[in-house]
C-alpha cells in the first residue's frame, strides 16, 4: 500500500500513560516506545481500553477471520484498476515486479460469481419476494407481476439504482465494464517500494483537502490541538482515516522485503518477506514521531471498534446472506463461519456507539451530507495511486470503511419487515466482501502489533 506517512494522522485527544516500559530500538538504545503509551489506554469515544481489544481480537476474532477470508466468496474481489485519476496527471507508475496485480482468468472465477444468472430487475426486487427471484410464481405476490408493465419494471430498476447511489459513501462500481476479478490471496498487501512525491500527494490530498479541519492551518505533530472545539462527527472522520493509515503502515512493516547480504533490491527481489522492526520504529516510535506514534496506533483501535459495530449492526442481514459461489459445500461452510464470527462480535459489549452522532436539526443533516461527500472524494483519490497493488488494497479498504459508514449512519439494518418500506436495506456483494476484508486487515494489524511488541523488547 501507500508507503510514506505524508502527514501525521492521529487527530484525537487521549490520556497518555507515559511510564517507562524498557523497550529498545534495533541499535540497543532505550526508547520511550509507542507501546508504553498504549498500555491500558482508554480508546477515546469508546468504553474500553487497548488491552481489552487486544485480547478479544487476538484470541477470538483474528483466528476466525484468518480462516474465513480464505473462502472463495471473500478472496475474489471485483475492481477496476484502470480508471484515470480525476484530479491530476500522474505518470509515476510503479515498475517494480511486486506492484503488479494479476487479474483472474475466466476459468479461475467461481461460477456463482460470474453473475449471468440473475437480471438487474431480479436483484432490485430480491428482498421484496420471500422466496427469492428464482421462483417462477408466487401466489401472494403474483398479481403484482400482471399489472406492472415492462417500462415500469425498467423505471423501478433505475429508481432503485438512484437510491442505492445516494446511500453509498463510495464511488466504486463493481459492474464497471473495466472491472476484473482479483484473487486477494495471490496479491497480498505488502511493501512494494511505492513512496516519494506520488504517495505523499495521495495522503496530502486526503488530509488537507477532504478531512474536516478547524481552520486553514495544519500544525504537523500537534494534532490534538487541532481537535479542540471540534464536534464528535468531525473527530470520528479524522480518526477513521488515521486508523486506516496506521493499519496500512503496519501491514507494510510486517510484510517487508528482507534484503539479503548480496544487496538484493526491490527491482529484482529474491529475499524473504517478514517484519522489519527498524521500519516500524521509523513510522511509530515516540522519538521518531515527536510522541505522536501511539496516537496513530490508538486510532487503529478506534477504527477497529467502529467497523466491528457495523458488522454487529448488520448481523441479522448477514445471517440471511447465502454467500453463493456455486460450490454448495464451501458456501455452506462459509455461512457457518460467518455465523460463528457474528456470534462472537455481537457479544462484545464495547463497540463504538454511533447513535450519538448526527442527532439534531438541519445543521446535522448538512454535516452528514458533507461527511458523505468528503468520503466519496477519498474513494476517487484511490484512482490516483501509482502502484496497482497499493491501489487494489486501498480501494478495498476504503470501500470496506465506506460500507461500515453506510450501515452505521444510513439505515435501519433489520431484515425488511414490510413491503411498504420506502427503501430496503441492501448490500452488494462487493460491499460485503470489502467490509469483511477491511475488518480482517484491521484485525491483522492489531495481531501484528503484538508481534512487533515482542520483537521490540
In a domain, 34, yes or no: no
Q: Counting Cβ atoms within 10 Å, is residue 430 exposed (0-12), middle (13-18) or buried (19+)?
A: buried
Confidence of residue 249 (pLDDT cuts 50, 70, 90): very high
Which DSSP symbol is given to 421?
-
Confidence of residue 221 (pLDDT cuts 50, 70, 90): very low
**Percent of the chain at pLDDT above 90?**
39
Confidence of residue 411 (pLDDT cuts 50, 70, 90): low
Q: Are 253 and 279 in contact (CB under 8 A)?
A: yes
* Residue 387 falls in the annotated catalytic set: yes
Q: Higher confidence at residue 212 or residue 390? A: 390
> Residue 76 in 3-state DSSP?
strand
In a domain, 279, yes or no: yes
Number of Cα atoms under 13 Å in the Cβ half of residue 48: 19
Any idea what the Cα angle at residue 66 is, between residues 60 and 72, rounded to 5°? 135
Q: Is 457 annotated as a binding residue?
A: no
Does the structure show a pLDDT above 70 at 174? no
Per-residue model confidence as pLDDT tens digits over 264-286:
566 555 667 899 999 999 999 88
34, 99, 133, 390: the catalytic one is: 390
Q: Higher confidence at residue 186 or residue 48? A: 186
How many C-beta atoms surround the C-beta of residue 95 within 10 A? 11
pLDDT of residue 173: 59
36, 170, 211, 387: the catalytic one is: 387
Question: What's the whole-number mean pLDDT along residues 389-415?
Answer: 86
pLDDT of residue 396: 96
Q: How far apart are CA 177 and CA 80, in angstroms?
A: 8
In a domain, 228, yes or no: yes
Question: What's the whole-number mean pLDDT along residues 140-168?
Answer: 50
pLDDT of residue 193: 83
Q: Is 283 annotated as a binding residue?
A: yes
Q: Is 27 annotated as a binding residue?
A: no
Mean pLDDT of the residues in the chain: 76
In a domain, 35, yes or no: no
pLDDT of residue 18: 28
Match 438487474 to its residue by C-alpha cell: 120
Q: How far apart are CA 95 and CA 266, in angstroms?
A: 10
Does the structure show a pLDDT above 80 at 45? no
Lowest mean pLDDT among 106-120, 209-223, 328-342: 209-223
How many C-beta atoms surround the C-beta of residue 429 within 10 A? 17
The total domain count for the chain is 1
pLDDT of residue 236: 87
SS (H, E, C) 212-277: CCCCCCCCCCCHHHHHCCCCHHHHHHHHHHHHHHHHHHHHHHHCEEECCCCCCCCCCCCCEEECCH
Confidence of residue 431 (pLDDT cuts 50, 70, 90): very high
Q: Is 190 annotated as a binding residue?
A: yes
In a domain, 38, yes or no: no
In a domain, 94, yes or no: yes
pLDDT of residue 169: 64
pLDDT of residue 268: 57
Cell of 404: 461500515
Per-residue model confidence as pLDDT tens digits over 280-330:
999 998 888 877 888 889 999 999 999 999 999 999 999 999 999 999 999
What are the counts of helices (DSSP H) followed by strands (DSSP E) for the chain? Answer: 19, 6
pTM higher than the cut 0.85:
no
Q: Higher confidence at residue 123 or residue 341? A: 341
In a domain, 127, yes or no: no
In a domain, 150, yes or no: no
Q: Is 203 annotated as a binding residue?
A: yes
- Write phi, then psi, for 190 (nearest 5 degrees): -165, 175
pLDDT of residue 138: 44
Q: Which of 7, 4, 18 is nearest to 241 (CA)?
A: 7
Which DSSP string do the residues of 363-410 spell out, in sequence order?
HHHHHHHHHHHHHHHHHHHGGG-S-HHHHHHHHHHHHHHHHHHHHHHH
* Residue 99 falls in the annotated catalytic set: no
> Residue 361 in 3-state DSSP?
coil
Any idea what the Cα angle at residue 292 is, between residues 287 and 293, rounded to 5°? 75
Q: Is 245 annotated as a binding residue?
A: yes
Match 472522520 to its residue by C-alpha cell: 237
Q: Higher confidence at residue 21 or residue 113? A: 113
Domain housing 306: 50-106+169-259+272-415+430-456
Amino acid at each position: 500500500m501507500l508507503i510514506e506517512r505524508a502527514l501525521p494522522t492521529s487527530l484525537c485527544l487521549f490520556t497518555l500513560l507515559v511510564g517507562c516500559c524498557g523497550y529498545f530500538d534495533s541499535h540497543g538504545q532505550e526508547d520511550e516506545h509507542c507501546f508504553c503509551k498504549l498500555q491500558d489506554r482508554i480508546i477515546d469515544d469508546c468504553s474500553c481500553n487497548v488491552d481489552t481489544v487486544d485480547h478479544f481480537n487476538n484470541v477470538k476474532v483474528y483466528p476466525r477471520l484468518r480462516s474465513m477470508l480464505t473462502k472463495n466468496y471473500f478472496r475474489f474481489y471485483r475492481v477496476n484498476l484502470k480508471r484515470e485519476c480525476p484530479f491530476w496527471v500522474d505518470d509515476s507508475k510503479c515498475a517494480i515486479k511486486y506492484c503488479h496485480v494479476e487479474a483472474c482468468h475466466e476459468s479461475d472465477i467461481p461460477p456463482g460469481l460470474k453473475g449471468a444468472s440473475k437480471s438487474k430487475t431480479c436483484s432490485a426486487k430480491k428482498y421484496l419476494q420471500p422466496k427469492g427471484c428464482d421462483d417462477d410464481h408466487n401466489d401472494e405476490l403474483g398479481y403484482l407481476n400482471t399489472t406492472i408493465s415492462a417500462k415500469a419494471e425498467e423505471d423501478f430498476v433505475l429508481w432503485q439504482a438512484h437510491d442505492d447511489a445516494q446511500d453509498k459513501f463510495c464511488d466504486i462500481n463493481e459492474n464497471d465494464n473495466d472491472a476484473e476479478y482479483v484473487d486477494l490471496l495471490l496479491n497480498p498487501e505488502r511493501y512494494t517500494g511505492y513512496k516519494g512525491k506520488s504517495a505523499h500527494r495521495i495522503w496530502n490530498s486526503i488530509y488537507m483537502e477532504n478531512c474536516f479541519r478547524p481552520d486553514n492551518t495544519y500544525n504537523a505533530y500537534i494534532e490534538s490541538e487541532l481537535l479542540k472545539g471540534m464536534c464528535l462527527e468531525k473527530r470520528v472522520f479524522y480518526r477513521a482515516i488515521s486508523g486506516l493509515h496506521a493499519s496500512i503502515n503496519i501491514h507494510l512493516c510486517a510484510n517487508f522485503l528482507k534484503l539479503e547480504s548480496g544487496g538484493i533490491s526491490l527491482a529484482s527481489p529474491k529475499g524473504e518477506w517478514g517484519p522489519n522492526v527498524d521500519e516500524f520504529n521509523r513510522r511509530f516510535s515516540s522519538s521518531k514521531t515527536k510522541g505522536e506514534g501511539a496516537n496513530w496506533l490508538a486510532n487503529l483501535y478506534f477504527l477497529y471498534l467502529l467497523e466491528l459495530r457495523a458488522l454487529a449492526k448488520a448481523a441479522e442481514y448477514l445471517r440471511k446472506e447465502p454467500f453463493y459461489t456455486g460450490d454448495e459445500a464451501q458456501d455452506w461452510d462459509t455461512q457457518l463461519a460467518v455465523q460463528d464470527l457474528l456470534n462472537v462480535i455481537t457479544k462484545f459489549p464495547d463497540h463504538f456507539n454511533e447513535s450519538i452522532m448526527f442527532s439534531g436539526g438541519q445543521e446535522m443533516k448538512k454535516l452528514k451530507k458533507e461527511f458523505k461527500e468528503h468520503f466519496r472524494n477519498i474513494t476517487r483519490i484511490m484512482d490516483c495511486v501509482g502502484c496497482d497493488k497499493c491501489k487494489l488494497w486501498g480501494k478495498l479498504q476504503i470501500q470496506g470503511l465506506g460500507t461500515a459508514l453506510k450501515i452505521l449512519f444510513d439505515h435501519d439494518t433489520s431484515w425488511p419487515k414490510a413491503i411498504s418500506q420506502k427503501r430496503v436495506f441492501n448490500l452488494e456483494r462487493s460491499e460485503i466482501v470489502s467490509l469483511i476484508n477491511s475488518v480482517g486487515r484491521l484485525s491483522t494489524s492489531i495481531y501484528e502489533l503484538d508481534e512487533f511488541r515482542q520483537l521490540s523488547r
